[in-house]
Structures are given as C-alpha cells and as structure tokens.
Amino acid sequence: MNGIPEIEVVVFDVLGTLVDEPGGLRAAIDEAVPRDAPADDLLTRWQQHVEREQQRIVDGHRAYANTEVIDAEAAHQVAERAGLTDPAAIARLATAGQRLPPWSDSVAGLERLSRRFPVLALSNAGRTALLRLNAHAGLRWHQALSCETVRAYKPAPEVYRHAIDTAGCPPERVLMVAAHAWDLRGAQAAGMRTAYVHRPVGDPPAPADTFDARFDGLADLVTALTGDSSGTP
C-alpha cells in the first residue's frame, strides 16, 4: 500500500488539496475588480493577509476569528487597492472562499474512497464556509470538521486531536491526506499517518520529510488504499 499501514479512517485537508483555492480566489477577484487592476498582486495580497492573520491566531497574538471574518478583511483590502466601492460586489468577493472549484480528480476520488472508508474533511474553513464550499464543489465525505470547532487553525495540535477523537480509533490508524507538507507535519506530530498528494498550488515535502506515502494525484492514492484501479465499486 505504498508504505501506508492498515488504515481505518481517511482525513482530507480541503483548501488546496481537494479544491483549487488560488484559482477560485483569482476568478472571484477578476469578476469583482476593474479589468485594469493588477489581479496577481491582489491575489497575493489576499493570500498574505489570510496566512498572516491565521498565523497570528496560532501564535496567540490574535483572538480566534473564523475564515468568514478573515476573508472579509482580505476582500476589503483587495477592494481598497483596486478602487472597488460597490458594497454588493465587495460582499460577494468576501464569500469567494465558498465557491472554489474542485480539482479534476477530487469528486471521483472521494466517491470511490468513501465506499471503502469513513472519510472526514478537516479544514481551516469556518463551519458555514465549509458547508457552502462542499455544496458548491460537490465533494463527498461522511463528516466535515471545521477548525472553528476548536477555535484554532492548523497546524495547532488541537485540530488534529479533534480529527482523531472523531475518528474513534488510534491515531496510527488515521490517515491524513494533504497537498501541504506543513499540514502533514502537524498531523505526523499528533501520531497520524500521512500521505502527500501533489497539487500545483501545494507545499511540497522537504528532503527531510518522512511521510508514509506520496502520490501524484488522488486517483493513485485511492488505488493504493483500495487495491482497485478500475474506478468501479
């Protein structure tokens, strides 16, 4: 099984792993701002704000705020930079994280895997944002866990403990799947098994990382876990 020992529950990161977060945000920015606005710069500004504020919360320098709050802050920064003043357009831009497109193999891969394993989503997205995102992208899992429940952001240890507690089995029988090495390191520190799945926007493993498995895409992961390469039940 490509180095993965026996697994009872599979846990997926969502943002970047199952959905194209930068691509979805870029599309929303393109829709909202004037055509001559520097879209790449605006996307970078958005991403840097979100990363900075979530890290401040992890470090204890800011009280917890969910992704709806932080995304709204990012949207207002983008709007100010781009000269966007329409309140309705800014409000829609603030919810861009709820309309992210799935990667081409995400829907089919989750569908196949969920026939064989309990599948959990574990996301930094807030509860409402995660609900809307799931509905938009058409992703199938058995339960979605938002970091909002424990008022923390990955890679805080309590986030992974929440997933392990929900799985109801020893951490070494829970597999964390992500396109971000930093996320997998956090799961590994909590005792979970880890599988890296390559995405164009992910955080690739460093030479020193010792994850249980690495895959080029979700289909390869599903085949390794189920032994079925046909895509049929």
Assign 3-class secondary structure to 81-106.
HHCCCCHHHHHHHHCHHHCCCECCCH
Together in a domain, 89 and 108: no
Task: Indicate whether 2 belongs to any domain.
Answer: no
Residues 176 and 200 in one domain: yes
How confident is the model at residue 3, as a pLDDT? 61
Cis peptide bond upstream of 207, omega within 30:
no
Beginning with the edge strand found earlier in the chain, give each strand of the sheet holding 193-197 in spatial order: 143-146, 119-123, 9-12, 174-178, 193-197, 213-215
pLDDT tier for residue 233 given thresholds of 50, 70 and 90:
very low
Residue 124 and residue 88 share a domain: no
Containing structural domain, residue 108: 9-20+101-226
Question: Whole-model pTM?
Answer: 0.93
What would the mean pLDDT of 179-186 be, rounded to a whole number? Answer: 98
pLDDT of residue 230: 61
Residues 91 and 117 in one domain: no
- 63 and 139 assigned to the same domain: no
Contact (Cβ atoms closer than 8 angstroms) between residue 183 and residue 176: yes
SS3 20: coil
* 143 and 214, same domain (yes or no): yes
Which tens digits make up the pLDDT trace of 71-121?
999 999 999 999 999 999 999 999 999 999 999 999 999 999 999 999 999
User: In terms of domains, do 81 and 134 share one?
Assistant: no
Task: For residue 221, tell me if it sits in a domain.
Answer: yes
Question: Do the Cβ atoms of 18 and 12 come closer than 8 Å?
Answer: yes
Same domain assignment for residues 82 and 162: no
What DSSP string runs through 156-220?
A: SHHHHHHHHHHHTS-GGGEEEEESBHHHHHHHHHTT-EEEEE--TTSBPPPTT---SEEESSHHH
| Exposed / middle / buried, residue 127 (Cβ in 10 Å: 0-12, 13-18, 19+) | middle
Written as six digits, the tokens of 147 are: 């970091």
Q: Average pLDDT, stretch 129-140?
A: 94
166 and 219 share a domain? yes
**Which of 61, 78, 98 finishes a domain?**
98
| Distance (Å, whole) CA 43 – CA 27 | 10
CB within 8 A of 190, min separation 6: which ones? 157, 160, 161, 164, 171
> Which residue carries 């403990």 as its tokens?
161
pLDDT of 44: 96
Region 40-48: mean pLDDT is 95
Note whether 13 and 125 are same-domain residues.
yes
176: tokens are 């964390």
Does 151 score more than 50 pLDDT? yes
Q: Is residue 49 part of a domain?
A: yes
| Identity at 138, one-letter amino acid code | G
Residues 150 and 90 in one domain: no
pLDDT at 205: 97
Return mean pLDDT, the chain: 94
Look up residue 163 and give its two tokens: 């997933």
pLDDT at 232 over 60: no
User: Quick check: is 231 in a domain?
Assistant: no
> What per-residue confidence (pLDDT) applies to 170?
97
Q: Could you tell me if residue 45 is inside a domain?
A: yes
Final residue before a domain boundary, out of 80, 98, 116: 98
Share of the chain above pLDDT 70, in %: 97
pLDDT at residue 36, rounded to an integer: 77
User: In total, how many domains does the chain have?
Assistant: 2
Is 1 a member of any domain? no
Per the domain annotation, does 4 fall within a domain? no
Question: Domain for residue 3, yes or no?
Answer: no
Which domain-ending residue is among 65, 98, 131? 98
**Do residue 150 and residue 213 come from a single domain?**
yes
CATH code at position 48? 1.10.150
Q: Which CATH number is 108's domain given?
A: 3.40.50.1000
SS3 131: helix
